[in-house]
Chain A
Amino acid sequence: DVQLVQSGADVKKPGESLKISCRTSGYPFPNYWIAWVRQLPGRGLDCMAMIYPSDYDTRYSPAFQGHVTISADRSTNSAYLHFHSLEASDTATYYCVTLVTGINYWGRGTLVTVSS
């Protein structure tokens, strides 16, 4: 079975950096796109960035380019999202999502709270 296990909730202060993770199993990790999706409290879904682990090709939404970096580690079948300098507006739930043979699989989400 395809599984995506995300890192736990975190509380940070504005200006701090953060790296959240998504460990995958049950499919050939390098061969399928994996993305990070943001959901602000009570709001919709925004695809922030995606990566193809086989060649590390990336796509970024203009809204998030420069604010985050997506990466992948083929040795641990994991994807990461690095926030360079957190803002209060980054308070949200972040989901990792992979597309395997035409079907999307989702992690349970990582709640990030940014507060001074």
Chain B
Amino acid sequence: IVLTQSPGTLSLSPGERVTLSCTASQTVSSSSVAWYQQKPGQPPRLLIYATSSRATGIPDRFSGDGSGTDFTLTISRLEPGDFAVYYCQHYGSSLWTFGQGSNVDIK
């Protein structure tokens, strides 16, 4: 399964809303899609699992949605700490795969 993320890079200002997309090459289970945030020098931080469940400690401005082959991560109001790279992931008993990442940087 290949995951394709869009856009690759976007420049935004604090307070703006952003929606990142992740498209799978074939239908996947909604229970097997996650989203991560990664900052330089740090491991990925789990934001969302099972398409729409927020991980422990993740604020509610982060939300996930989708089904079939199309999944999204929305940040309702960007805060300074949200500028980072975001990855989607498909996981389960088959080999896990990741999207190529979306870089959200400050305008």
Contact = CB atoms under 8 A, between A and B. Distances in A.
Contact of B95 (A59, A95, A99, A108): A59
A50 B96 contact: yes
A104 B46 contact: yes
Nearest to A93: B43
A107 B44 CA distance: 10
Interface residues of A, number: 22
Interface size class of chain B, counting residues whose CB lies under 8 Å from the partner chain: 20 to 34
Interface in B41-75: 43-44, 46, 49-50, 55
A4 B46 CA distance: 15
B6 interface: no
Interface string B20-52: 000000000001001000000001101001100
Closest 4 CB pairs of A and B: A45-B98, A47-B96, A59-B95, A44-B101
Interface of A: 33, 35, 37, 44-47, 50, 52, 59-61, 95, 97, 99, 102-104, 106-109
